[in-house]
Structure 1
Amino acid sequence: MKYRTKTYIAGDWTGDEDAVEQLYKWNDSNYWSLSFTDAHDLTQARDGSLNCSIKVSLRKRLEASKTFVLIVGKNTRTVRSGSCQYCNSYNSWTASCARGYSVDNRSYIEYECDNAVRDSLKIIVLYNAATIDKTKCPDAVKNTGTHAAMCCWKDGKLYWDYYAVKDAMG
C-alpha cells in the first residue's frame, strides 16, 4: 500500500512565482506555522525533457501526495505549456507523436488538476489576488475543494494574507 504524505504545489510558475515563493517562505519559516512536505522534492525532470516525460514525473509526485494546492493567477486557465502540440516530437500533419507516445494536448496545469480530482486528493485553490475569481480557475477544480484569496487590502495596500492561506490549508 502506498502512503500519500506530500503536498503538491501547482500553478503558472512563471506568472505566479511570487505566490509560490511566499508559500515556501511561510513553510520554511520558524515564525509561521504553515507546514507541508513538498512533493516536488521527490523527482525532477530535466529542462530538456519531452512534455510526456515531464508528465510522468508529475504523475509520480501526485501519487505520493495527499493534498493538491493550485495557485491561480491571471494566466492559469489559459497557459498551454505541456501540451503535446508544442513538443518538437509532435507531428501536426498527422496529429501524432514521432516517438510513438500517445498525444495529450492538456497543459501541465490541466493534467495536474485532472489527476488530483481523479485521485480524490484534498484540493486547495489559492488565488494570487485579494478576491476569488473562479473564471480564472481550470474547470476540473473550479467547483471542488477549498478556495481562498492569498492577499488582502489594508490601508490601501495589497498584502499577503497568511491567515487565509493557513485556514484554507487546514
Structure 2
Amino acid sequence: MGYRNKTYVIFDADKDMWAYSYMKGWKTNKNVDFDFHDAHDLNPLTNRAGEETVKSRLRERFSKTKHAIVLIGESTKNLYRFVRWELQVALKLEIPLVAVNLNHFRKIDQDRCPLVIKDTTTVHVPFKLKIIRHALDNFPADYRAKKKEGEVNLYYPNSVYESLGL
C-alpha cells in the first residue's frame, strides 16, 4: 500500500475552510510548533472534477494517510455527499480519526458529531493547536489497542490539557 505519513483532513469546505486555513497557517509559521503532511497536497482537484473523479483522487490520498482529522462545525453532520463518504472510508480503512470540535468542546458533541462516527474509536478534542498536535502525535499509537478493547467516544482528561498549558 505504500508509506503512510499523511494527515487527511475532512471538513465542510463551504463553512469551515477558515479552520483548515488556520491549520495550514500554523504549519507554515516558523514560530509555531505544528506540522502535518497534508494529504490534500496530493493530486490537486479542480472545481470542475466530477464526483467519481473526486472520489478516485480521495481514495488515492487515503492510501497515503496515517491519520485523519474531521473538523466538526455547525453543519458537518448534515453533509453526506463527501464528508460522510470520507468518514466511512476512514473507518473502513481503520485510519485513526481525530474529531476536532470547532466550538471547543473537549468531548464528543452529541449535537454536532456526524452520526457515522458516533460510538467509534475516535478521539474528540477542541480546536486548539496544542491538543490537536498532541492527538496527532499520540492517538495513532493507541488506536488499535483502544479499538480492540471497544473504547469509543474518547477524549483526553483535564490533566493532559493542564500539562499542555490549556
Q: What TM-score results when the alignment is normalised by the length of structure 2?
A: 0.75
- In 1, Cα distance between the equivalents of 2:94 and 2:16? 25
Match in the other structure for 1:15:
15
Which consecutive residues of structure 1, in runs of 5 or more, have no partner in the other structure?
Answer: 81-106, 151-160
2-side partners of 1:40 and 1:30: how far apart?
Answer: 21
Alignment of 1:37-52 (within 5 A): 37-52=37-52
- Structure-1 residue corresponding to 2:5: 5
CA deviation string 1:23-42 (max 9, x = no partner): 11111121221111111111
Structure 1 residues 36, 113: closer, same or farther in 2, change over 3 A? same
More strand by share: 1
Q: How does 1:90-129 map to 2 (within 5 A)?
A: 107-129=81-103
Give the Cα separation in 1 of the matches to 2:17 and 2:7.
Answer: 17
Matched with 2:133 is 166
Structure-1 residue corresponding to 2:122: 145
Instruction: Tell me the SS of whatever aligns to 1:136.
Output: coil
Paired letter, 1:118: K
Structure having the larger proportion of residues in helix: 2
> TM-score if structure 1 supplies the norm length?
0.73
After superposition, where does 1:62-77 map in structure 2 within 5 Å?
62-77=62-77
Segments of 5+ residues of structure 2 without an aligned counterpart are 138-166
CA–CA distance in structure 2, aligned partners of residues 2 and 135 of structure 1: 37
From the CA coordinates, give the structure whose radius of gyration is larger.
1
RMSD: 1.5
| Aligned mates of 1:72, 1:114 — CA distance in 2 | 15
Residues 117 and 140, structure 1, Cα contact 8 Å, conserved in 2: no
Percent identical pairs in the alignment equals: 24
Q: What per-residue deviation string (whole Å, max 9, x for no partner) do you get for residues 47-101 of structure 1?
A: 1121121111111111110111110000001124xxxxxxxxxxxxxxxxxxxxx
Equivalent of 2:111, from 122, 128, 135?
135
